[in-house]
Amino acid sequence: MKFIKFLLVGIVFGIVLVKSEAVSWYRIYEMFRFESFHMYGIIGSAVVTGVLLMLITKKFKFKNIEGGFMSVPDKDKGLTRYIVGGTLFGLGWALSGACPGPMYILVGTGVFSIIIVILAAMLGTYVYGVLRTKLPH
Amino acid sequence: MDYILQPWPWYVAGPMMALIMFTLIYFGKTFGMSSNLRTFCTIAGAGKKTKFFDFDWKAQKWNLVVVVGAILGGFIAHFLLSVPTDIDLNPATVESLSNYGFENVGKSLLPAELYSWDAVLSLKGLSILIIGGFLVGFGTRYAGGCTSGHAITGLSNLQLPSLIAVIGFFLGGLIMIHLLFPIIFG
């Protein structure tokens, strides 16, 4: 039963990204050509809403259901991993049109060839894990 | 009902994404979809040889449930909450893709030129999906997050590493679309 709430969150996530066409390869392509405000509007309004929600959360010290304060762990400091890793991700995102949320959502829309992208992404993650100690972070 | 069946505008989708992030934090978790790829590797046994995958994946079960929900959500939205609608793309976008030989641009979520079984069974088509997917998987883990973890959660918490990662996302995307697409599809 405790997992039902996460299932509902996932369902809403999938519905929102399909209904807003953010799972569409075409929308990603259009975004990187700066020919539509749509994707910038989604990401921008998500961030503005998110910043406000988190400011309110900190100010009023909201608690989570486990009794602790609602917070997000800080990301590790660094530069190389974020700029290089981010750029590699961006190359793949623009080519396949799918980031790690939409690739699952698209399975639900009946595009089963996206499973190839998911398997390749698993392979990419695996290779990163193997090479991790040799890469600059 | 018509409002639901039509595509949703950005100002509905964006704030809802923030609420999804907020809800997960309320549940004591952090929004991050790319972590699941690592979990899948661990379930497949990668932890035996590589320390990075040697962790208790059961603690990530909740995130796998989000994945199952996302698949269901995709099904519900596409088959039950939509009427066939072309994606309202900029005519300049459509024209540029036509010049690359793409047909029926915006008639479906994904282009048949990349995702139809005909395309998948060609060397070029298969290579595009595998290289694209590989870069997504490698890049997100290297950068420690993807669009959900960095662009939405990280930026909402004003984290500098996430801003750097998002700049990287766009750098990579711009290089792919403006420099590499003319070579791949030209």
- Domain range summary for chain A, segments of one domain joined by +: 1-35+74-134
In angstroms, what separates the C-alpha of A83 from chain B's closest C-alpha? Answer: 5
pLDDT band at A63 (very low <50, low <70, confident <90, very high): very high
Q: Do A14 and B76 touch (CB under 8 A)?
A: yes
For residue B19, tell me if it sits in a domain. yes
B170, B18, B137: which is closest to A16 by C-alpha? B18
For residue B174, tell me if it sits in a domain. no
Q: Do B10 and A37 touch (CB under 8 A)?
A: yes
For residue B27, tell me if it sits in a domain. yes
For residue B62, tell me if it sits in a domain. yes
Best of A17, A25, A26 to substitute, by most chain B Cβ atoms within 10 angstroms, is A26
| pLDDT (0 to 100) of residue B2 | 85
pLDDT by residue (tens digit) across B71-112? 999 999 999 999 989 999 999 999 999 999 999 999 999 999
For residue B143, tell me if it sits in a domain. no
For residue B77, tell me if it sits in a domain. yes
| pLDDT (0 to 100) of residue B114 | 97
List of chain A residues whose C-beta atoms are within 8 Å of the C-beta of residue B28: 64-66, 68
Determine the structural domain holding residue B4 and report its residue range.
1-82
In angstroms, what separates the C-alpha of A1 from chain B's closest C-alpha? Answer: 11
| pLDDT (0 to 100) of residue A14 | 98
pLDDT by residue (tens digit) across A18-62? 999 999 999 999 999 999 999 999 999 999 999 999 999 999 999
A22, A54, A34: which is closest to B70 by C-alpha? A22
The number of folded domains in chain B is: 1
Query: Residue B16 in contact with residue A16, Cβ under 8 Å?
Result: yes
pLDDT > 70: percent of chain A: 99
pTM of the model: 0.97
pLDDT band at A65 (very low <50, low <70, confident <90, very high): very high
For residue B61, tell me if it sits in a domain. yes
In angstroms, what separates the C-alpha of A56 from chain B's closest C-alpha? Answer: 11
For residue B167, tell me if it sits in a domain. no
pLDDT by residue (tens digit) across B11-38? 999 999 999 999 999 999 999 999 999 9
Predicted complex ipTM = 0.97
